[in-house]
Amino acid sequence: MSAIPTPLLSAATAIGKARHICVLTGAGISAESGVPTFRDAQTGLWAKFRPEDLATPEAFARDPRRIWDWYEWRRELVRRVEPNAGHHALVHLAGLVPKLTLVTQNVDGLHQRAGSTGVIEYHGNILRDRCSAEGTLARRSARSVTGLPECARCGELLRPDVVWFGEAIPPLTMRDADAAVADCDVFLSIGTASVVYPAAGLAANARQCGAIVIEINTEPTALTPLADFSLRGPSGEVLPQLLQALRG
């Protein structure tokens, strides 16, 4: 039987003592389910495009068909995949600690499909439609003038219910995430490059409020210098190991 690495043991000890854990996940946790991350140079979702050419309100206004094609392709992909060991480990972790708040930047809904509850979807959900004129969740019209998804109520174009660059995080979402960050005593950042704000600032805020910051990632990230413990490896392997160490 191989020995448990020291940072993993130290992280498990901190989690074992925690009253409230705030978890922030990013694209890396869904990578082992087969959802490409964003910034991988070869296979990432933006390998062929610059992000500002796709994930902005300006790009949608310029060429809605192109943006809808990209999102329909991603919706199909997300519907085909399953949650992995990392998603499932977080469901178990929530049952082992007094309080756990899960904030995800991911728009794929895989945490909920694994069984996590009360998930704060910081950047929205790709599977929902929102009216681009009314700003509210909306059903699709049975008929379409443009050939693109249109709002059943007002006929304007629908868009995916996600947060694009230059758009604000919905205020209630921001409030709930900030409250968890201020209250937690352990902040666990999993599978995110920690470059997109305001999500990338949550770990620093938690640390300022006195939390221990733990990172799980296959690579060093912008957060690594700030983290108390950096656990290197795929989250689908590291999280189950962490659970094992926690259970003793």
Residues catalogued as catalytic: 123
Asked whether position 55 contacts ligand BJW by CB under 6 A, the answer is yes
Round to whole Å and give the CA distance between 184 and 104: 16
Round to whole Å and give the CA distance between 3 and 62: 56
Q: Between 23 and 193, whose beta carbon lies closer to ligand BJW?
A: 193
Strand order of the β-sheet with 212-217 is: 120-121, 100-104, 21-25, 186-190, 212-217, 229-232
Number of residues that bind ligand BJW (CB under 6 A): 34
Asked whether position 177 contacts ligand BJW by CB under 6 A, the answer is no
Angle between helices 235-247 and 6-17 (to 10 degrees): 60
Asked whether position 193 contacts ligand BJW by CB under 6 A, the answer is yes
Asked whether position 76 contacts ligand BJW by CB under 6 A, the answer is no
Using alpha carbons, list the distances in angstroms from residue 62 to 128, 177, 189. 22, 32, 35
Asked whether position 83 contacts ligand BJW by CB under 6 A, the answer is no
For residue 212, how far is the Cα from the chain centroid? 20
Asked whether position 217 contacts ligand BJW by CB under 6 A, the answer is yes
Asked whether position 234 contacts ligand BJW by CB under 6 A, the answer is yes
Residues comprising the chain, all counted: 248
Check: CB of residue 94 under 8 Å from CB of residue 130: no
Question: Shortest approach of ligand BJW to residue 174 CB, angstroms?
Answer: 9
Question: Shortest approach of ligand BJW to residue 229 CB, angstroms?
Answer: 15
Asked whether position 32 contacts ligand BJW by CB under 6 A, the answer is yes
In Å, the largest CA–CA distance within the chain is 64
Question: Candidates 15-23, 150-158, 161-169, 178-186 — which segment interacts with ligand BJW by CB under 6 A?
Answer: 161-169
For binding to ligand BJW (CB under 6 A), which residues are involved? 26-28, 31-32, 37-39, 44, 55, 105, 107, 123, 162-168, 191-193, 195-198, 216-219, 221, 234-235
